[in-house]
Amino acid sequence: APAPAGKAAEQAANKAGVIKLPIESIHRDKEQPRQHFDEEKLKELTESIRVQGVLQPILVRKDGDGYRIIAGERRWRASQAAGLKEVPAIVKDVTEVQAFELALVENLQRADLNPIEEAEGYRRLVEEFKLTQEQVSQRVGKERSTVANALRLLALPEDVKGMVADGSLSMGHARALLGVPRLPELQNLAKQVTEKKLSVRDTERLVQQSRSHGKKDAGKSAPKQSPQVKSLVEELQRRLGTKVRLTERSPGKGTIEVDFFSYDDLDRLLKLLRKE
C-alpha cells in the first residue's frame, strides 16, 4: 500500500499549491452536493485520463490520516478506473461549511448538478449550517429568488422530484406544477406532461384548467367569496410574496392558510408579519 502523504508533501502543497497524493489516501465526501454521475461521460473521462493524465487537480481537505474530496470526485473516480496510483491535488484548510460551499459552487459553475441536487445543496446550507437565503445567494453567487425557487422544488413529491432530477421535467415544468394544491392531481399531471412531452406553456395551461375545475367543484359546497375578500387575499399574497388561501366558515369568521417552502422562508414571513 502506498505510504500516506506526510508533512513534506503538505509543505510542498503550501509552496507550489499542487501536490501528488496517493489515490488510496483519498476518499469521497458522502455529503457532497453531486450524487449522480453519467456513466458514459465517466468512461470518456477515464479514456482521456489514460492518454493525457489528470489535467486539473482535485480539491481536498485533510481528514484523519487521509484526505476527503471537496471538488473533483469525477476526476478521482476516472483516475481509479484508469489505474492511476496518484492524482494531482490542492489541499485546502477549510471548515465543513466552507468545504460544502466550495463543492456546491464548483458544481454550479460546471453545471454538474441537476435541479434537485442544487436545491438540496441550498437546503443543507439553510437548515444544517443555519444560513439565510440571502447569505446562501451571496455565497454561491446566485440571485435570492433563484435560491428561493430552487428550495420550492423540495415541496414536490418524491416521484415528481425524480422526474426533475433525470431531466424528464424542466425547472419551468416543475414551477408550473407547484401551483397544483392536491398531491394526487399534481402527480397525475406530471405523468401527463412527461408522456405527452408538453411544453412549459402547455403545462401552465393544463395546471390552470385543473385549478379552474377544482374551483368549480369546491364552489358547489363552499360559499362564493365576496369581491372584498378576494381583494384581501390578493393584497395578502402581494405583501407576503406567497400563496394565501382564505376560507370563510360563516360571515366574518374563517381561516387563513399561508404557504412557506423552508424554515428560512417561514422566518421571512414572520418578520413581515411582525413589521405589520
Asked, for residue 259, whether it belongs to a domain, the answer is yes
Same domain (yes/no): 15, 66:
yes
The residue ranking higher by pLDDT, 3 or 185, is 185
Q: Quote the CA–CA distance of 171 and 239 in Å, as a whole number.
A: 25
Domain of 187? 165-205
**What amino acid is encoded at 3 in this protein?**
A
Q: Quote the CA–CA distance of 59 and 102 in Å, as a whole number.
A: 9
Task: Output the pLDDT for position 215.
Answer: 55
pTM of the model: 0.59
Give yes or no for a contact between 206 and 189, defined as CB atoms under 8 angstroms apart: yes
From the list 10, 31, 44, 73, the catalytic residue is 73
Q: What is the mean pLDDT of residues 209-234?
A: 67
Same domain (yes/no): 70, 18:
yes
Q: What angle do CA 275, 141, 133 make, to 5 degrees?
A: 30
**What amino acid is encoded at 92 in this protein?**
K
CA dihedral for 226, 227, 228, 229, sign (positive or negative): positive
Q: Quote the CA–CA distance of 227 and 185 in Å, as a whole number.
A: 28
Percent of the chain with pLDDT over 90: 31
Encode pLDDT of 84-140 as tens digits.
Answer: 999 999 999 888 888 888 888 877 776 678 899 889 889 888 888 888 889 989 888
Verify whether residue 10 is a known catalytic residue. no
**What amino acid is encoded at 235 in this protein?**
E
Asked, for residue 79, whether it belongs to a domain, the answer is yes
Same domain (yes/no): 180, 239:
no
CATH number at residue 74: 3.90.1530.30
